[in-house]
Amino acid sequence: MSKKYYGVIGHPIGHTLSPFIHTRLMALSGIDGEYGVYDIDINELDKKFADTLSKLNGLNVTIPHKQAIMRLLDETDETAKLYGSVNTVAFVQNDNGSTCSKGYTTDGIGFVTALENAGMSFGSTATVIGCGGVGRVFANTCAVRNCKVNLLVRESAFERTELFAESLNKRFGEGTAKVFFIGKFEGESDLLINASPVGMYPKTDYCPVSEDIISKSKSVFDAVYNPADTMLVKKARDMGIKAISGMTMLVYQAAAAQTIWNGSVFSSEDIDKLAEDCFKELNNR
């Protein structure tokens, strides 16, 4: 069996746990592989994709490339097209020796599984902070489950987020999605979701929303996993609100990527143990 090569792209990307996770997952499934890290500025994506990334067997994609990479791919699966976001790319050799790149998103799988494992429900109203690639996945996933979705964004993202909200309303019914400036939202939420990088290492003293917004939420999910307990998660727990970070989601979406690349299947026990070990790994850094 020939060695396989994988990697993750993002910017910044120094905090990533992906090599730790995928090395373990490959060992569990008997894959001889290496997993690298590629810190790529958004302006360098096209060049790096052509001369470096397309030579890999598979690729994971994180902020800020989840939407930008879609235009570089030969194919995109239906879920990724629907969500407008790609976090996993498979490079497959065709019979003629050429390489075909296909994009997928496994964020939705990881998100739903993480909530289920924590005993958290979607409820009827979800509020999503940020509307980049993963934010769109969260919004779509909530809308599929008949949630009303509030999208909280900064002024610079308001116009494009309104267009996204219109697409949700066309697909799921008028009034499904509404857009608000982050500082002007005053509504209540069954589930508050942070899909922005605010609070991520090294800027761990930041919280994406006010305490008033947090206090009006029944549960909180923060996609940020480093640190394990973000300022948002800490504030919510201090208020007696159930809150989890994105670690379990990260591991489950990585496992789904290995399934796409290699057909690997993992037990829930293996995934839960790996998530625990990821927290330990973070604490040792």
Range 209-248 burial, b when 16+ CB lie within 10 A, else e: beeebbebbebbbbbbbbbbbbbbbbbbeeeebebbbbbb
The catalytic residue among 4, 47, 66, 184 is 66
Percentage helix, strand, coil for the chain under 3-state DSSP, each rounded to 5 = 45, 20, 35
Distance between CA atoms of 277 and 282, rounded to whole angstroms? 9
Distance between CA atoms of 26 and 191, rounded to whole angstroms? 34
241 phi/psi in degrees, rounded to 5: -100, 135
Chain centre distance of CA 45: 19
Answer yes or no: are the C-beta atoms of 15 and 62 closer than 8 Å: no
Q: 93: helix, coil or strand?
A: strand
Strands (E) in the chain, as ranges, are 4-10, 33-39, 58-61, 75-76, 88-93, 99-104, 125-129, 148-153, 177-181, 191-194, 219-222, 242-244
Q: Is the dihedral of CA 76, 80, 82, 84 positive or negative?
A: negative
Q: 100: helix, coil or strand?
A: strand
Residue 66 appears among annotated catalytic residues:
yes
- Non-local CB neighbours of 283 within 8 Å, separated by 6+ positions: 228
Distance between CA atoms of 253 and 109, rounded to whole angstroms? 6
Hey, which residues are catalytic here? 66
